[in-house]
Each structure stands twice: as C-alpha cells, then as structure tokens.
Amino acid sequence: MVDHILLRELAVDDSLVDQELAAVFGEVPDREKMGLVMEDSVSSFQPGAILQGKVIGFAGDDVIVDVGLKSEGVIPRREWEDPAEVQVGDEVSALLEAMESDSGTVVLSKRKADRILNWQRIVETSNEGDDVEGKVVRKIKGGLLVDIGVPVFLPASQVDIRRPSDVGELLGKTVQAKILKIDTQRRNIVISRRRLIEEKRQIAKENLLSKLEVGEMIKGTVKNIADFGAFVDLGGIDGLLHITDMSWERVNHPSELVKIDEEIEVCVLNIDRDKEKIALGLKQKTANPWDAVETKYPVDSKIEGEVVNIMNYGAFVKLEPGVEGLVHISEMSWTRRISHPSEMLTVGQTVEVVVLSINKEKQEVSLGIKQTEVNPWTRVAERYPPNTIVEGAIRNLANYGAFVEIEEGIDGLLHLSDMSWTKKISHPSEMLKKGETVKCVVLAVDEEKQRIALGLKQLHEDPWLHAVPTNYIPGQIVQGAVTKITNFGVFVELEPDLEGLLHISELADHKVEDPHQEVEIGQTIEVKILRVDTQDRKIGLSKKRAEWIAEEEGGPGRDKKVKPRRGGLVGPGQVSTDLITKPLVASPPLQEKVEAVTPAPEGPSDAEPTPEAAAASEPTPEAAAASEPTPEAAPDAESKVRAAADIESTPQAKSDSDTSTEAPPDAAPSGGQGEEGKELTSPEAEADDTAE
C-alpha cells in the first residue's frame, strides 16, 4: 500500500533526483527511454513469454529453475528427453505459463518453449522441398507423427514406395523425409519419405541401367512376394524374379525359396531399358538338368521316381530334381478301369515307370506304369478267336450297346445291331439288365485298339435265310397284331420279333388320311403278304387285298364270278384260301406247285399222242418220287396248291404277279377307291426307309 503522507513529508524534488543520478552515471537519463525499458521488463514477465533460466535444484519429479522472478519456477522432469542427464547449473529455456500456482511457485514448460523456438527456427531456415530428419514418435489416424523439432505429419501413403502393411513398424526409428507443405497459420507441416526415396532411386536407377548387362550376376534384396514371383531391389530399380526362373524343380509358391528383406544373388536374364524392366533368374546359376535327359533316361528304360503331384488326367513323377514326367491316366493299367489317378497313386509314393517318349524342347517326358507288366491284350486274340462262345456279366449299358466283362479288365461290346435278327431295339435295356450274365459269340478282336466285338443274335441262325422266306410266301393270308401306327402305315407283328409293314395305301379301298381311323394298337387283323425282301429284311402286307378275298369267299356259292381287280397277287376268277396263323413248315418250290396244277392243253379227245409225245409225257421215277407229297406237307398240300394256282392260273394273273408292285386303279369294279398307276414298291420302300 502506497503511503502518500510519507511522500509529501519527504518532498523529494525531481531535480534533486536528476542531480543524484547524474553524479552516479555521469549524465541525466532520458525519461522516455527509461519508460520503454520499464515496459519491456514488465512485458517479459507476462504469461506466454519465453524466459531463460538455470537449474538450481530438484523437488521430487520436478526441476527447480530460477528465471529471475521473486519465486523459482517448476518444470516437470519428464519434459526432458533424458531426465537422467539434467544437472544443477544447466541453462534452460522455458515458457512462462503462470506467475504463481497454488503452491506459490512460477509455472514453466520446457517442452512448449522448445516447440515454439523450433517452429520459429524451421520457418526461418526451411522451405518446402527441403530434406529433414526426425524420429517417429507416434502412430495416428492416416499416418505417423514425426518429431523434427516440432511434430510433423507423415501420411501412410508417403511412408514408402510400396505402402507397408503396418506403418507402425517405423515407430521409434529415425527417418529422413522431404517437406511437402508448410502451413504457418495452422502451424502444420506435412513431410514425405516416399518422395525422398524416389529421388534417390531415380539417380541410382539411371546409374544402374547404364552399367548393367545381361548375364551379369548381381545382389539384391527381396522387397515383395507375389503368387507369380518376387520383386528384388537391385539398388534403384526392382527386378522380377519369376516363379518359373527360381528353380529347376517344381515350386508351388515363391515363399518356399525366398523371404522378404532377404539378400540374394541373381542372374540378369533380360533388360528393357525403355520400359525400365529387368527379368531375373535364380535357377540359371546351376546347370539345366534337361540338357542330359535323353542320355540319362532313354526311351523304353525302366526307372523309379517319386509321385509329386496328382491331377485329374494323370500323375507327375519326379525323376530327379528339376526333371518330372507325366503318367497319363490311360497309361496306369492295362485292364483296371481308373476314374482318378488317386485310386492307384499317392503323393510321395515311389513307383517304377517306363519312359515312353521325351520332348526336350518342351521339357516333357511321357511315362507309363502299365508298361512294366505284360499286356493281357496280346493273349486275347489267342484265347478268344472269332466264333468263340463266351459268357460274362453285363457291366454297363449305353445307348449304342452293352459292355460285357469277359474277364477281369477285358470288356467286349455287344452292339444294338447284334442283339436280335428280327426285333428292332432302340435301347439295350429292352433286352438286357446291368449285372445280368449272358452268352455271346466273339465276332472280332482288335488288339491295337483293344476292342472285342460280341454278338447275341449270332448264337442262332438268321431266320431271314431260310425260316422267313420259307414260312411267309407272297400271296398268303396271315394274321397279326398291330404294334405301331405311323403316318405312312401300320406295323403288324406276324410272330414274336417279326413285323411286316402295312402301307397306308394298302389299308382300305378308299383313300385313308389317318391310319388310326382304320386300325388300333393291339388289334388282330388279317393281311395278305405282298412281298418278302430277304435282303432288306422287310415284309410288305396288304389289308384291303385280304378283305377282297374274304368278300369273295363269303358270297353265295363258290361258283360266283369274281370281280376283276388290277394289281395284287390274286388274278380274276382265282381265290386264295390260305390262312396262316402260325409259322409254316418248309414247302416245295413255287414252280413245282404251279406245274402240278397247270391244266392240260385242250384238243380232240380221240387224238392219239405220238410215241415221242407219249414217252415225253411219262414221268421218270425220280420225278414221280418228287411229285409225291411228304407226310409233313400232306395236310397243307391242297391249300398251297390252290395258292400257287391263284398266282399262275391265267396270263392276266401272271402279268399281275409280275407287276405286283402296281396299285389298283382309282375306280375298281367293286366300287373301291385306289390310286391309278401307282407302284406299291415305291410307297413301301419310302415307308420302310422312313421306319428305319
């Protein structure tokens, strides 16, 4: 508190003060200058000012510093980088934060003072693009915090040329970087380590490319590993060490041979200076084992190897480091059916193989396992010659036939066409079942292709050779069941597995648009045999001609005049009464039947024959014996003779028989409808071809 009464009592004059000062300093001080000095002294002790002090002692975790104030200042010991190095008497710069704390001491901060001073120093001495060095102190969002005197930001994208998986690996390390940006208003600095590395690498790259040559051995550091290879830093530029150039042996992944940051020696394979690309090789440091593969592994030689890989199509066998051969799945067994190589082999297994072929240029070796054994197919032709009857189980059914296992590993093919002489089979399951045991005839053996052709129908004689042409004669009336109806006609089953074609033009006298309107599936009908083609295995039938005969036989009196009809096998005035309900037995030739019923030429009854004619008319003993019917043929002799007479009785009938392929005229005398001048063979052939 100022005592104004005392001041008045002293009554000190300013002039007296000036005289005393002049006596001491030799001159009278300028009062204005004194005011400025006082103002500076007072302002330097305001909060926020940086003061110079000296360490005078320690108090626990605090350092006592004298900064010239009435009280000492206190700075926490942790604000020094190395608290153990702080000594009494050390000078320190500190920021005045408060004149007096609760404890009556001055509050100081060394860390904040250093930051302000360093910021001022950096702003004054550094510019954007300058190199700086600092220590990574902390990992923050998006990058790192680096202390270069003041905390600066190092983005994660600017840490290295290739962004590391974890930027925290640099914590505590001293790094060099380049200043990208200085923001004085926000007191913020952004640095880039990548920029500095790229500039250094560019210089080193140009120097390296100017000196590097193909074939040169050079050391480098593995910087990155991919599935296809590894990138090696050669000192300014990265070279690619492809996985195929790492070893002569099989390499599944580059990490099996190299590690990141590993230093390796590689061979320069190729240099593209325009694209700045270098191809490197590791296996080229050793000799190529394929150079001597033909000498070491001649064709047909037996060797042992290790199975190293199994694929769907085969297995790879290692003959030596860097040399592998393929055992195709077809070369594993002569007889065993293998769907996958793993059924016979496992990785790591040692097997004996035979060298089949070598392609040195493509570095391929074909191997075989089954060649180490005798081929059983060499004895198949001897054991199963053609016409041998064999028995086996049906192993598999296909659309085109059945596979019959004759013995273990030996299959024969029973084709659809060799299953039945007469039945039309669309799939083998109609006759056979998988696992069923059948007897077959060996038709052919192909050792080269390892195939055996089998036949089932060959166990019996072909019925089209004798049975069908003998039992089914053109002109006969037979019964059959309708099995199939098509747009061109009807198939009629005459007996099991034997069918004939009833063409649409032979269904009725009138024009038929839809065969379903005339017959039904399963219906039993009578038809007349028009032709039997043993070569094409076809039987032509006619329903309308069988109806003509039925109408004529059913009329009042057998002597009724038959209405003449063109075409067919029955002439006018002659009626066939044959009705076949079961297969016929063998009969004499047709010509003999015709001769037996041919009437004698008309002439005077009283005319005597000449001796020559009489001699000629007498049959020889052999002819007489041949003309007598056998006991088996006697019951049907009359019907067969009558059928033959129907065919050959008149010239007109003979003409019709010779031209039996002609259809009846449009206007038949009985009122039936037909197509004029149309040959029967033409629609039947067309229908048969369509049916086939």
Give one DSSP letter per residue of 486-545, joined into a string: -SSEEEEEEETTEEEEEEGGGS-SSPPS-GGGT--TT-EEEEEEEEEETTTTEEEEEHHH
User: 182 vs 87, 124, 148, 152, 177, CA distance in Å?
Assistant: 36, 12, 13, 10, 14
Phi, psi for 416 (deg, rounded to 5): -55, -40
Q: Evaluate if residue 31 carries a pLDDT over 70.
A: no
Q: Which residues contact 302 (CB under 8 A, 6 or more apart)?
A: 352, 353, 354, 372
Q: Which two tokens stand for residue 90?
A: 């050390």
Q: What is the mean pLDDT of the chain?
A: 74
> What is the arithmetic mean of pLDDT over 19-30?
55
Greater confidence (657 vs 416) lies with: 416
Out of 3.90.950.10, 2.40.50.140, 1.10.3720.10, 3.30.429.10, select the CATH number for domain 467-599+632-691. 2.40.50.140
Out of 2.40.50.140, 3.40.30.10, 3.90.1530.10, 3.30.9.10, select the CATH number for domain 21-113. 2.40.50.140
Q: Evaluate if residue 560 carries a pLDDT over 70.
A: no
The amino acid that residue 291 corresponds to is: D
Residue 562: strand, helix, or coil: coil
> What is the arithmetic mean of pLDDT over 595-621?
38
Q: Which of 41-50, 377-386, 483-492, 600-609 has the lowest mean pLDDT?
A: 600-609
Q: Evaluate if residue 346 carries a pLDDT over 50.
A: yes
Q: Evaluate if residue 680 carries a pLDDT over 60.
A: no
In the chain, CATH 2.40.50.140 sits at 21-113, 126-196, 212-285, 289-372, 376-459, 467-599+632-691
The secondary element (H helix, E strand) that includes residue 209 is helix 193-211
Using the structure block, give the residue that is written with the tokens 């394929």: 290
Phi, psi for 149 (deg, rounded to 5): 115, -35
Cβ pair 653, 562 in contact under 8 A: no
Q: How high is the pLDDT of residue 640? A: 37
Predicted TM-score (pTM) of the model is: 0.39
Q: How high is the pLDDT of residue 599? A: 38
Q: Report long-range pairs for 154-160 (Cβ below 8 Å, ≥24 apart).
A: 154/190, 154/191, 154/192, 154/193, 155/190, 155/192, 157/194, 158/191, 158/192, 158/193, 158/194, 158/195, 159/193, 159/194, 160/193, 160/194, 160/197
Closest CA to 393 of 337, 423, 432: 432
Q: Quickly state the pLDDT bin for 606 (edges 50, 70, 90).
A: very low
Q: Evaluate if residue 312 carries a pLDDT over 80.
A: yes
Q: Which two tokens stand for residue 165?
A: 């998986």
Q: Evaluate if residue 47 carries a pLDDT over 90.
A: no
Tell me 307's DSSP state.
Answer: E
Give one DSSP letter per residue of 401-466, joined into a string: EEEEEEETTEEEEEEGGGS-SS---SSGGGT--TT-EEEEEEEEEETTTTEEEEESGGGS--TTTT
Q: Which of 227-241, 354-368, 546-560 has the lowest mean pLDDT?
A: 546-560
CA pseudo-torsion sign 668, 673, 678, 684: negative
> What is the arithmetic mean of pLDDT over 582-595?
37
Residue 661: strand, helix, or coil: coil
Cβ pair 331, 317 in contact under 8 A: no
The fold adopted by the segment(s) 289-372 is OB fold (Dihydrolipoamide Acetyltransferase, E2P) (2.40.50)
Q: Quickly state the pLDDT bin for 413 (edges 50, 70, 90).
A: very high
Which pLDDT tens digit goes with each residue over 244-259? 888 888 888 999 889 9
Number of H helices, E strands in the chain: 15, 31
Separation of alpha carbons 139 and 19, rounded Å: 67
Cβ pair 171, 178 in contact under 8 A: no
Which pLDDT tens digit goes with each residue over 463-483? 888 888 888 989 899 999 999
Q: How high is the pLDDT of residue 561? A: 42
| Pairing assessment for the beta strands 401-407 and 410-415 based on DSSP bridges | antiparallel
CA pseudo-torsion sign 616, 617, 621, 627: positive
The fold adopted by the segment(s) 376-459 is OB fold (Dihydrolipoamide Acetyltransferase, E2P) (2.40.50)
Q: How high is the pLDDT of residue 524? A: 92
Q: Evaluate if residue 70 carries a pLDDT over 50.
A: yes
Q: Quickly state the pLDDT bin for 276 (edges 50, 70, 90).
A: confident
Q: Quickly state the pLDDT bin for 531 (edges 50, 70, 90).
A: very high
User: 540 vs 570, 639, 668, 677, 682, CA distance in Å?
Assistant: 15, 21, 22, 18, 11
Q: Evaluate if residue 624 carries a pLDDT over 90.
A: no
The amino acid that residue 156 corresponds to is: A
Out of 2.40.50.140, 1.20.20.10, 2.30.30.30, 3.40.50.300, select the CATH number for domain 212-285. 2.40.50.140
Separation of alpha carbons 220 and 391, rounded Å: 72
> What is the arithmetic mean of pLDDT over 115-140?
82
Closest CA to 148 of 170, 121, 183: 121
Percent of the chain surpassing pLDDT 70: 72
Q: How high is the pLDDT of residue 316? A: 94
Q: Quickly state the pLDDT bin for 354 (edges 50, 70, 90).
A: very high
Say which CATH class 126-196 falls into: mainly beta
Which pLDDT tens digit goes with each residue over 195-232? 888 888 888 888 888 888 888 898 999 988 999 999 99
Closest CA to 457 of 416, 508, 504: 416
Q: Evaluate if residue 635 carries a pLDDT over 60.
A: no
Phi, psi for 357 (deg, rounded to 5): -160, 160
Q: How high is the pLDDT of residue 1? A: 43
Which pLDDT tens digit goes with each residue over 669-679? 333 333 333 33
Other CB atoms within a 10 A radius of the CB of residue 335 amount to 15
Beta bridge partners of 218: 266
Strands (E), 574-653: 579-580
Closest CA to 539 of 659, 688, 363: 688
Closest CA to 687 of 539, 525, 587, 475: 539
Q: Evaluate if residue 496 carries a pLDDT over 70.
A: yes
Q: How high is the pLDDT of residue 462? A: 84
Greater confidence (166 vs 221) lies with: 221
